[in-house]
């Protein structure tokens, strides 16, 4: 099955996901257009990482459809999924670098597995990508010798080694100081402009999201509250969006009797 | 209370059936990938070094002392019947058929099986396995195949070393310390140990290698879905302990089964 609009690199339709019996995503709809940075934003437990993992094919959806680069990925076999995944890059929250491999080996891994390039060419490509992420000369270090920010940049270098057209980031600035975080944001925007990439970023960092996003999708408790440009999201009147933007704690009204029933486990 | 216990029993039965099914599918996938070329020889050699090479010293020590104890016990028992000439055959048969494969397997579980399980568990926990999948790299090919080949190659080799060192340990105690004649020690062994005994030991060690690596890789790979697993350091420690306990029990049970079938 293929989707029709060629400008849409990702299309998610009526996506429902469960963990056990708990429904995490409720009928999520989302489109990501070619060449844009889409930020998926939301608080902890809003379902943004589940949405990302489902888009990557790491979680199976309960229902709904996901189209990735014009391919419907929900019904694909594992082998077909591996083939599609070679066309995009993913940078995980903690970097997910292999601790037994050097920076060079980590970055070259996709090349070693999917291409027949000779060692010299791979070394040159590795150095080029390290230069892109401002880590020239670090290729012989082990991941344990790098700082958190460096790990993320090496992970980014690995994600772009195959020159993908689509790039995913899971919490790129989590755990980084503001300066390194800003550098990484700048890098993401630079990648989009220089390599015309489509980029999906999952984050809960407001400043970072506003700095890099072309469009933002706000998730709350598994529902999409709004999808729009930075200004549209900032001016959105939905209370829960404003709570998130203004860092206001959620003020759910709890019925005292209901609370007692939940606490004591008695069913009314 | 009764209802709770029945529910718990039911949940455990369902969990057992699910886990067994998952293990079967997991092994099938691994074996299918093992039979699908090409393979990275360097990765296999690296794993043989990890499972086999790094276990050699401990296997030599275990084999030496096992052979020595076997000869010591055997000598005192056989002396009562005036049959110390049979010491060589007792040591040889005991080591080659039983103790060699079983003790080697137990040592490898403790040294390499637990390490492999913990390594894969941490890889799962730190999203390295997810990262592999997202790079379009099949984790079964990349992580499992070299380890499976390494285990089924290294275990028979380690067992062979164990047997040889054990026989030398037996020689040390029986011949050098207790004064059994060298000729009768080796002649007894030569006349009672035949090729089928060696074959039995090798088949056992091959099967044990497969069982160890199957349990260790399964437990580590599925850290996130197993009942004993869960996330974090505690989950890794629990599945690692589970691997050692389950592998040890399975090795002893399958030792009996293989013995029954082949003897």
- The answer to whether A25 and A222 have CB atoms below 8 angstroms apart is yes
pLDDT in tens, B85-98: 899 999 999 999 99
- What's the token pair of residue A259? 């609370």
CB contact under 8 A, A82 and B136: yes
CB contact under 8 A, A58 and B137: no
pLDDT of residue A75: 85
Q: What percent of chain B has pLDDT over 90?
A: 87
Which CA distances in Å does A70 have to A30, A90, A197? 14, 18, 16
The C-alpha R_g of chain B, in whole angstroms, comes to 22
Q: Where are the domains of chain B?
A: 2-262
Largest CA distance in chain A: 71
Q: Does B130 lie at the interface with A, CB-CB under 8 angstroms?
A: yes
Cα B153 from Cα B135, distance rounded (Å): 30
Cα A103 from Cα A105, distance rounded (Å): 6
Nearest CA in chain A to B141: A113
Nearest CA in chain B to A93: B127
Pick from B123, B133, B137: which is nearest to A58 by CB? B133
For residue A117, the distance in angstroms to the closest alpha carbon of chain B comes to 16
Q: Does B127 lie at the interface with A, CB-CB under 8 angstroms?
A: yes
Cα B163 from Cα B97, distance rounded (Å): 9
CB contact under 8 A, A82 and B137: yes
Sheet strands (E) in A92-197:
166-170
- What's the token pair of residue B11? 């949940």
Q: 3-class secondary structure for B156-202?
A: HHHHHHHHHHHHHHHHHHHHHHCCCCHHHHHHHHHHHCCHHHHHHHH
Question: What pTM does this model have?
Answer: 0.88
pLDDT of residue A253: 59
Which CA distances in Å does A146 have to A152, A155, A229, B39? 10, 12, 35, 32
Helix, strand or coil, per DSSP, at residue A147: coil
CB contact under 8 A, A96 and B137: no
pLDDT in tens, B134-144: 999 999 999 99
Helix, strand or coil, per DSSP, at residue A150: helix
In chain A, residues with a C-beta closer than 8 Å to the C-beta of B138 are 78, 82
Q: What percent of chain B has pLDDT over 70?
A: 98
Cα B21 from Cα A146, distance rounded (Å): 41
Chain A / chain B CB contacts < 8 angstroms: 51
Helix, strand or coil, per DSSP, at residue B149: helix
Q: Which fold has domain A1-87+167-174+194-268?
A: Rossmann fold (3.40.50)
Cα B109 from Cα B103, distance rounded (Å): 10
Q: Does B42 lie at the interface with A, CB-CB under 8 angstroms?
A: no
Cα B246 from Cα B217, distance rounded (Å): 13
DSSP B81-135: TT-GGGHHHHHHHIIIIIIHHHHHHHHHIIIIIHHHHHHHHHHHHTTHHHHHHHT
The whole-number average pLDDT for the span B161-176 is: 97
Q: Where are the domains of chain A?
A: 1-87+167-174+194-268
In chain A, residues with a C-beta closer than 8 Å to the C-beta of B121 are none
CB contact under 8 A, B126 and A82: no
| Mean pLDDT per 10-residue interval, chain A, length 268 residues | 68 93 92 95 90 93 92 89 91 92 96 94 96 93 93 93 94 85 91 91 91 94 93 90 80 70 69
For residue A60, the distance in angstroms to the closest alpha carbon of chain B comes to 14
Mean pLDDT taken over chain B: 94
């Amino acid at each position: 099955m293929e989707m029709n609009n060629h400008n849409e690199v990702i299309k998610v339709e009526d996506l429902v996901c469960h963990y056990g019996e708990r429904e995490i995503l409720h009928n999520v709809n989302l489109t990501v257009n070619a060449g844009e940075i889409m930020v998926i934003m939301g608080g902890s437990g809003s379902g943004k990482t589940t949405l990302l993992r489902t888009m990557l094919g790491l979680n199976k959806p309960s229902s709904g459809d996901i189209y990735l680069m014009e391919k419907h990925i929900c019904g694909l076999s594992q082998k077909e999924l591996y083939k599609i995944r070679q066309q995009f890059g993913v940078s995980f929250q903690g970097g997910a670098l292999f601790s037994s491999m050097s920076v060079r080996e980590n970055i070259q891994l996709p090349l070693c597995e999917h291409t027949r390039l000779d060692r010299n060419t791979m070394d040159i490509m590795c150095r080029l990508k390290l230069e892109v992420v401002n880590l020239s000369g670090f290729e012989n270090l082990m991941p344990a010798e790098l700082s958190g920010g460096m790990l993320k940049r090496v992970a980014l270098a690995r994600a772009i080694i195959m020159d993908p057209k689509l790039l995913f980031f899971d919490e790129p600035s989590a755990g980084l100081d503001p300066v390194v975080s800003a550098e990484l944001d700048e890098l993401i925007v630079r990648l989009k402009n220089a390599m015309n990439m489509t980029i999906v970023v999952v984050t809960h960092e407001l400043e970072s999201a506003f700095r890099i996003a072309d469009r933002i999708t706000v998730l709350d408790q598994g529902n999409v509250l709004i999808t729009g440009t930075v200004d549209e999201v900032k001016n959105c009147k939905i209370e829960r969006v404003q709570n998130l933007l203004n860092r206001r704690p959620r003020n759910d009204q709890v019925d005292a009797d209901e609370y007692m029933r939940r606490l004591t486990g008695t069913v009314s | 209370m009764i209802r709770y216990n029945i529910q718990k029993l039911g949940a455990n039965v369902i969990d057992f059936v699910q886990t067994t099914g998952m293990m079967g599918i997991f092994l099938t996938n691994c074996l299918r990938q093992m039979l699908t070329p090409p393979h990275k020889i360097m990765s296999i050699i690296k794993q043989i070094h990890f499972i086999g090479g790094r276990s050699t010293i401990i296997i030599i020590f275990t084999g030496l002392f096992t052979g020595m104890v076997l000869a010591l016990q055997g000598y005192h028992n056989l002396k009562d019947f005036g049959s110390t000439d049979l010491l060589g055959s007792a040591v040889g048969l005991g080591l080659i058929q039983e103790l060699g494969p079983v003790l080697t397997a137990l040592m490898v579980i403790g040294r390499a099986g637990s390490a492999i399980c913990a390594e894969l568990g941490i890889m799962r926990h730190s999203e390295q396995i997810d990262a592999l999948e997202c790079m379009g790299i099949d984790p079964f090919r990349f992580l499992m195949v070299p380890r499976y080949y390494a285990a089924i190659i290294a275990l028979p080799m380690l067992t062979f070393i164990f047997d040889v060192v054990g026989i030398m340990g037996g020689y040390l105690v029986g011949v050098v310390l207790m004064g059994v004649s060298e000729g009768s020690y080796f002649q007894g062994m030569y006349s009672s140990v035949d090729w089928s005994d060696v074959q039995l030991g090798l088949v056992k060690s091959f099967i044990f290698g497969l069982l160890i690596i199957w349990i260790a890789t399964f437990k580590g790979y599925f850290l996130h879905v197993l009942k004993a697993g869960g996330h974090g350091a505690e989950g890794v420690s629990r599945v690692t302990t589970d691997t050692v306990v389950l592998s040890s029990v399975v090795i002893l049970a399958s030792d009996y089964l293989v013995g029954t079938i082949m003897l």
